[in-house]
Amino acid sequence: MVHSVELVFDPDTDAKIRGVWDDLTRAGIRSQANNMSPSNRPHVTVTVAESLDEVANTALRPVLERLPLDCTIGAPMLFGGRVFTLVRLVVPSEELLALHRRVHALCLPHMPNGVLGHADPGQWTPHVTLARRVAPDKVPAALTIKSVGRDLRGTLTGLRHWDGDKRIEYPIN
């Protein structure tokens, strides 16, 4: 599994994104709403690695000074090939990119095998996931749902470390 550091949204933004998940589900597209894990919530993965020492949780506390951070949840995008992951871009403002660089610098000493390449500064695509394993024939229907394409103003208010090995989230506070 992997470890990730993730930004989470304020309750209003969280509810708006969950509304998009629900719209997808109503249209017959298996969305993140189908994930019943208590830790499943809209988030923006900031960095990801094969492992991240728990001491990073303390090292990350200075990042909280940069929150809350207003953001725009913009265009829908697709990741993948045979099946797709449907996401929405979180527009990479200078403040968000600076926060990303700071998280990267603070976490790197605590990642024994380094960061996964797509999370490196200059390679990172900030996004929030709407649906995984979307079949190609479902993509047109997903992209015609109004809430999937409408920009959302939101606020990022929290930070967590997700330990995918133990399936535990550690709020950074």
Domains of the chain are: 3-165 (3.90.1140.10)
Provide the residue type at 15 as one letter. Answer: A
Question: Is the predicted pLDDT of residue 62 greater than 90, yes or no?
Answer: yes
| Residues 110-133 pLDDT 10s | 999 999 989 999 999 999 999 999
pLDDT band for 37, please (50, 70, 90 cuts): confident
pLDDT exceeding 70 applies to what percent of the chain? 100
Q: Could you tell me the two tokens for 152?
A: 């959302």
Q: Are 44 and 88 in contact (CB under 8 A)?
A: no
| Residues 155-165 pLDDT 10s | 999 999 999 88
Torsion, Cα 124 14 57 64, to 10 degrees, reads 90
Q: Could you tell me the two tokens for 150?
A: 């409408």
Q: For residue 2, give the nearest of 167, 165, 170, 171 by alpha carbon.
A: 165
pLDDT band for 49, please (50, 70, 90 cuts): very high
Query: How many residues can be counted in the chain?
Result: 173
Averaged pLDDT of the chain: 96
Find where tokens 């509304």 sit: 19
Question: Is the predicted pLDDT of residue 73 greater than 90, yes or no?
Answer: yes
